[in-house]
Structure formats: C-alpha cells, structure tokens
Amino acid sequence: MLARLDEIPGVGESRVDWSGRLVLLEVEPGSPVEQVFARADEILEGGTQRLDPRSEAEAIADYRQGAAWMRAGETLRLSRHEAGVLARNLGVEAAREAGLDGEETQRFIAVVEQSIAAAFERIHAAGQGLPSSFGERAIVLEDVLEKCRDFLSEEKRARLEAALRAP
C-alpha cells in the first residue's frame, strides 16, 4: 500500500505509524494537495480523513523527533508487532474460555503470535497488503490447533477450538 502511495504524482514519500491508522504523505512543493489526497483515498479504499491542523502538526512533530514512521520496505516490522498484539488480545480471551492455566495460556499466546506473524510474512512475500477479510485465518487456526497438541489435552484443545471458531 505504501509503495502504491509513493507512486502518486506529487508524493515525495509515504510512511505509516505503528498503529497502522495514520499515514504521512510528504507532498512535493507545487503539487496539488487535494488531488494527491483524493488519489491516496482511492488507494486506501475510501473513508480517509485528513487530520485537523493541530493533530497534523503533532504527527509531523512526532515524526521529526524520531517517532517510528515506516516506509514501504519497513512495514513487516509493523506486521510482526501487530501479530503480538493480536495474539495477546485473542489469546487471553480464548484461553480463559477454554480453561487454560497460566503456563498453557502463555504457550498458547506464543503459538498464536508465531502463526500470525508467519501468515503476515507470507502476505508480505507475495507483495500484497493485508486484505480487509483476512484470508489466512483458516490456515492460522489450523496451525495453532495443531501446535497446541504438544502441550494441551484433547479436552482443552477442543474447548480452545470452540472458542476460536466462535464468531
């Protein structure tokens, strides 16, 4: 996605913050900002909003002070970070529902993080952005459930599977 933004006429470079929610576009002097923004909105699949002037100034100041704003080739770091966030969020709830103890929960979260990170790496290697409907979900789920056989009883694994397959 960032590589596509970089191709917009008038864009010097694009970056994304750690949250993946804020995109910083450096617009070249003399370029029509509104046209650049309109094209960026298309690439980002619509619904984007420009920050208000104060928030925009704060974001630019953060960038200039060294905050992590990644370029196209650096986004795999963001995906690895996101894999950890997703694993913790998903893992704690699913482990609680399945009745896992503390050690089992930690091992489960580590397996989920590893599997999600591997899926993100496959997507990056294919040169794709993360699709809005995460097509690798079934692969990740099967990988996680298989790896949990090493340390969970079949009963806990079945409860975990039910928790993970629930909407």
Distance, CA of 17 to CA of 19 (rounded, Å)? 5
Domain span at residue 125 reads: 74-165
Domain boundary among 22, 38, 70: 70
| DSSP secondary structure, 82-138, as one string | HHHHHHHHHHHHHHHHHT--HHHHHHHHHHHHHHHHHHHHHHHHTT-PPPSS-TTHH
Q: Indicate whether 60 and 124 sit together in one domain.
A: no
pLDDT digits (tens, 9 = 90+) for 32-60: 999 999 999 999 888 899 999 999 999 99
pLDDT digits (tens, 9 = 90+) for 125-136: 776 555 545 567
SS3 content of the chain, % helix, strand, coil (to 5): 60, 10, 30
Look at the chain and report how many structural domains it folds into. 2
pLDDT of the residue at 127: 60
pLDDT at 113 over 70: yes
- In the chain the first and final C-alpha atoms are separated, in Å, by 28
Please, what is the Cα angle at 117 between 160 and 139, to 5 degrees?
Answer: 55
Mean pLDDT over the full length of the chain: 88
Q: Are residues 6 and 57 in the same domain?
A: yes
My answer on whether 120 and 148 are in the same domain is yes
Q: What is the largest CA-CA distance in the chain?
A: 65
Which of 70, 85, 119 marks a domain boundary? 70
Give the predicted TM-score (pTM) of the model.
0.60
